[in-house]
Amino acid sequence: MRMSGVIGVILLAVAVVLLPVLAGGQWVRIFTSTACFALAAMGAAFIYARLGMVSLAQVALMGVGGWVFLRLNHATALPFEANLLAAGLVTSVLGMLLALPALRMRGLYLALMTLMVAGALEIVFTARQFPNGGTGFWGVATSFSATVRRPLLGQSDPAYLRYSLLVMGAGFLLIEAHRRAAPGRAWALIRRSEAAAIASGVNVTLYKTWAFGLSGLLAGLGGGLLAGSLGLLDAATFRASESVLLFALVVVGGARFWFGAVATAVLYRVAPALLNNWGVDADLALILFGAALLHAVITAPDGIAGQILGFVGALRGRMPGVRP
């Protein structure tokens, strides 16, 4: 795994340098969206892989992050970074609140709890939309929306892509750092048995809440970045079904590996864009997408990331260490 981490950092560096230069205007935007959703996917993937907990509200939480980001952008003169951080933190707190019932739930029930949250948020987003510079608490004006400030180092679209990739990399490293330190060991123990974890002095409540908070943080950052990229958000992006779909793709991508989250985001944003670019009818693309999803769930236990590892392992002539 250490090896794949090093490769990851190298690949990220290559992407940061090359993607903004090589991609055209359309693809710069597609890759920016992909980076935003990769952050959220990483959040969902890691609580699933480390704790067996399923969040079907990840995209809805991105919406919360995006809302906070836009609200602050239009209400204050704070710099981009402050707004982004606030978006991450507020979403993180919401994630932790979500974790309180989660402490007592497992498996499907927990997943459904998060789905109910996603369903409720969908209704709020539709009825209230996202702040665009209007007055009042909800900040929605009906005319031309006010501008969204971008970071100093990301004024143009290509520079913003570079910035987003770096934030994504930082998010991934944050997870990796946790995995290697005390929280990672605590999570592993909790996953085996909470009783055992408590017996060995692990604060189960703290670490579970922490994990959800971390996952929410990544979703919030992703939502804030997306808002900065588009300048405004629309409720259609954050429907409950999108949250379910993102989690399905997390399973397909492979939840246990960092490149699984990247694969998830690529499937979620790059694949539909490619099909659209090739002129495939949107409805037919949906059929293809659904079929591919079913196929991957049936055939790939560790997702695409697992298959990549298997392939690399076969190349090296031995099985890779893919233990959790």
Partner 1 sequence: MTMRVLRKGSLKTAAMFGAGMIALAASGGAGMAAVSCGANTGQAATGAPVKVGGIFGNAAPGDFSASTTAARAYFDCVNANGGLNGRPIQYLTENDQWNPELAAQAASKLLKDEKVVAMVGNGSFVEMAVNAPTYKAEGVMTMASACAVSECFESPNIVSTNQGPLPSTVGAAQYMVEEKGSKNVSCIGLAIPDVGPWSCGAMEGYMASKGLAGSSVLLNPASPDVNSALLEAVGSGADTILVNLPAGLAIAFLKAAEEQGMGDSYQWASSTPLYDRTVPEALGAYWDGKMYVNAEMTPWDKGGPDAVNWLAVMDAYAPKEAARDSFSQSGYLSAKIFVDAMLALDPATLDDRAAVTAAITAIKGVTSDLMCGPYYVGEADRHMPNHAGTMVVVKGGGFETVRDCYEYDSPYFAPIFEQEKALGLR
Partner 2 sequence: MRETLRALGICILGVTVLGLWLGAGKPASVLGLFIVSGLAVGSLYALGGVGLVVLYRATGVLNLAAGATGMVAVFAAWQLQDRGVLAPLAWGAGLAVALVLALGYGRFIAARMAWREPVVKAVASLGFALMLLGLVSFLFSDDPRKFELPTDKAAVMILGLRVTVTRLLLIGATVGLVIGIGLLLERSRIGLQMRALANNRRISSLIGVPILRVETMAWGLSGLLSGFTGLMFGDLVRLEPAVITFLVIPCIAAAICGRLASLPLVLIGGMTMGVVESLLTLSQPLKDLRPMAPYVIAALVLLAMNRGRALTFAGEE
Binding mask 96-135 for partner 2 (x = CB under 8 A): -----x-xxxxxxx-xxx-xxx-xx--xx--x--------
Of 2, 25, 77, 104, the one binding partner 1 (CB under 8 A) is 25
Joined together, the tokens standing for residue 291 give 């079929």
**What is the C-alpha to C-alpha distance for residues 259 and 257, in angstroms, rounded to an integer?**
5
Taking the least distance from each CB to partner 1, the nearer of 233 and 255 is 233
Is residue 136 part of the contact set for partner 1 (CB under 8 A)?
no
Is residue 153 part of the contact set for partner 2 (CB under 8 A)?
no
Residue 214 CB, nearest distance to partner 1 (Å)?
Answer: 25
Distance of CA 254 to the CA centre of its chain: 14
Contacts of 39 (CB under 8 A, 6+ apart): 167, 168, 171, 218, 219, 221, 222, 225
Residue 42 CB, nearest distance to partner 2 (Å)?
Answer: 18
**What is the C-alpha to C-alpha distance for residues 159 and 157, in angstroms, rounded to an integer?**
5
**What is the C-alpha to C-alpha distance for residues 121 and 240, in angstroms, rounded to an integer?**
8
Of 51, 233, 244, 308, the one binding partner 1 (CB under 8 A) is 233
C-beta atoms surrounding 295 within 10 Å? 11
Distance of CA 291 to the CA centre of its chain: 23
Joined together, the tokens standing for residue 161 give 């892509």
The secondary structure element, H or E, covering residue 281 is: none
Is residue 143 part of the contact set for partner 1 (CB under 8 A)?
yes
Using alpha carbons, list the distances in angstroms from residue 159 to 148, 150, 153.
15, 10, 7
**What is the C-alpha to C-alpha distance for residues 305 and 256, in angstroms, rounded to an integer?**
8
Of 58, 164, 237, 243, the one binding partner 1 (CB under 8 A) is 237
**Segment near partner 2 (CB under 8 A); pick from 9-17, 29-37, 284-292, 309-317:** 284-292
**What is the C-alpha to C-alpha distance for residues 74 and 149, in angstroms, rounded to an integer?**
9
User: Which one of partner 1, partner 2, none is in contact with 140 (Cβ closer than 5 to 8 A by kind)?
Assistant: partner 1
C-beta atoms surrounding 9 within 10 Å? 13
DSSP letters of 231-267?
Answer: SS--GGGG-HHHHHHHHHHHHHH-TTSHHHHHHHHII
Taking the least distance from each CB to partner 1, the nearer of 18 and 287 is 287
Of 14, 291, 312, 314, the one binding partner 2 (CB under 8 A) is 291
Residue 271 CB, nearest distance to partner 1 (Å)?
Answer: 12
* Cα-based angle 244, 247, 251 (whole degrees, multiple of 5): 135
Joined together, the tokens standing for residue 302 give 């560790």
Of 19, 30, 38, 113, the one binding partner 1 (CB under 8 A) is 30
Of 1, 78, 285, 322, the one binding partner 2 (CB under 8 A) is 285
Residue 79 CB, nearest distance to partner 2 (Å)?
Answer: 33
Judged by CB under 8 A, the chain residues 46 through 65 that form the site for partner 2 are: 52, 54, 56
Q: Where do contacts with partner 2 occur on this chain (CB under 8 A)? A: 52, 54, 56, 101, 103-109, 111-113, 115-117, 119-120, 123-124, 127, 191-195, 198, 204, 239-241, 244-245, 247-248, 251, 281, 283-287, 289-294, 297-298
Q: Where do contacts with partner 1 occur on this chain (CB under 8 A)? A: 24-26, 28-30, 33, 122-123, 126-129, 138, 140, 142-145, 147, 157, 226, 229-237, 269, 272-273, 276, 279, 281-283, 286
